[in-house]
Amino acid sequence: MRYRTLGASGLLVSVVGLGCNNFGTRLDLDRTRGVVDAAIDAGITLLDTADVYGDRGGSETFLGQVLEGRRDKVVLATKWGADMGYGPAAGARGGRAYVRRAVAESLRRLRTDHIDLYQLHTPDPTTPIAETIAAASELVAEGKIRYVGHSNFSGWQLAEAAHTAREIGGVPFVSAQNHWSLLERGAEQEVVPAARHYGLGVLPYFPLANGMLTGKVRRATGVPDGSRLAARPQWVTEQRLDKVERLAEWAEKHDRTLLEIGIGALAAQPGCSSVIAGATSPTQVTANAAAGEWTPTDEELAEIDGILAAG
């Protein structure tokens, strides 16, 4: 496993991380433990969850249980700010009162005294970003969180937050988590360049396009029963299948797997810190970690860009 700092921060993360949004919904406690064991064995350190995952709290609760006694083996990233059903008395989700309540509940579920990376799940249109930064800065000073990140921010929101942190002397956001994969490259227009400019590391979500970049979905074979994509047929579009088929052809010619292309070529994009791929089995995590070992040359990356842009 390779390790990198998260943007310009001192937080070191594995180049392949583990997305934890299957825990507490599709995976029970035993299967969650199996996936986390395999991740740690493969050298994965970055575990990405959210308070809302697992039907509000289930993913954090399972992680707290399976990490008991080995909390220091992982870099724990979670999020606040999606609908936890706290109601209006909790306040706006970027506001000081809400942030303090959310972190207390996440720490309790995760059975830890600190969160390594605490991310605002989605922008809060009502709270001034200065208030959110001030609240996060208090949590850093108290040792409850180590770093703060955001998710689903646009380029201008990222820039505004970076300038505001400087103006008020607050802790800067160190990461941006946005939708990004070889099949969905919209983040490269504004968010990724802005993140690089302001020193944030990007954590791409849906990096495997929900499984389309794993090799399990081909035009000839269709979607496997029981897979996530079987429940999300709208994802399997003709346009995405075209790209998958072109990538698979390139992979075969270069003696690579589609999974290596999906993970290795994304990890190699400037600005990408860690590919936080989700998984439903130990075998998948092990394969994902191994795929991150492939480091394409500039020429190979240019060829991949070319075939994705074609058509």
- Min dist. Cβ of residue 55 to ligand NAP (A): 15
Phi-psi region of 13 (alpha: psi -120 to 50; beta: other; left: phi over 0): beta
Choose the binding region for ligand NAP from 32-40, 101-109, 141-149, 275-283 (rule: CB under 6 A). Answer: 275-283
Binding segment toward ligand NAP, per CB under 6 A, in 93-101, 105-113, 163-171, 279-287: 279-287
User: Is residue 19 involved in binding ligand NAP (CB under 6 A)?
Assistant: yes
Angstrom distance (rounded) from CA 131 to CA 125: 12
CB 48 within 8 A of CB 276: yes
Question: C-beta of 36: minimal distance to ligand NAP in Å?
Answer: 13
Candidates 177, 257, 269, 273: give the one binding ligand NAP (CB under 6 A).
Answer: 177
Q: CB-wise, 138 or 190, nearer to ligand NAP?
A: 190
Instruction: In whole angstroms, give the CA distance from residue 272 to residue 95.
Output: 29
| Bridge pairing between strands 12-14 and 16-19 | unpaired
Task: Report residue 17 CA to chain centroid gap.
Answer: 8
Q: Judged by CB under 6 A, how many residues of this single chain contact ligand NAP? A: 29
* By the rule CB under 6 A, 45 interacts with ligand NAP: no
DSSP per residue, 141-195: HTTSEEEEEEES--HHHHHHHHHHHHHHT-PPEEEEEEE-BTTB-GGGTTHHHHH
Question: Should residue 216 be labelled a site residue for ligand NAP when binding is judged by CB under 6 A?
Answer: yes
Residues whose CB is less than 8 angstroms from the CB of residue 183 and which lie 6 or more positions away in sequence, other chains included:
209, 212, 213, 240, 243, 244, 308
Residue type, 268: A
Q: How far apart are CA 257 and CA 286, in angstroms?
A: 14
Chain centroid to Cα 98, Å, comes to 23
* 206 is an interface residue for ligand NAP by CB under 6 A: yes
From the CB of 167, what's the least distance to ligand NAP, in Å? 26
Catalytic residue among 53, 98, 198, 205: 53
Does residue 274 touch ligand NAP according to CB under 6 A? no
151 is an interface residue for ligand NAP by CB under 6 A:
yes
What is the rounded CA–CA span in Å between residue 243 and residue 227? 20
Query: Which region, judged by CB under 6 A, interacts with ligand NAP, from 86-94, 107-115, 142-150, 209-217?
Result: 209-217
Contacts (CB under 6 A) with ligand NAP, residues 22-41: 22
Candidate segments 29-37, 157-165, 241-249, 278-286, binder of ligand NAP by CB under 6 A: 278-286
Binds ligand NAP by CB under 6 A, chosen from 80, 118, 173, 205: 205
Instruction: Report yes or no: 191 and 154 within 8 Å, Cβ to Cβ.
Output: yes
CA distance 208 to 269: 15
Q: Specify the residue, 290 or 301, whose C-beta has the smaller distance to ligand NAP.
A: 290
Would you call 53 a catalytic residue per the annotation? Answer: yes
Q: Give the active site residues.
A: 53
Residues contributing to the site for ligand NAP (CB under 6 A)? 19-22, 48, 121, 151-152, 177, 205-211, 214, 216, 227-228, 259, 276-280, 284, 287-288
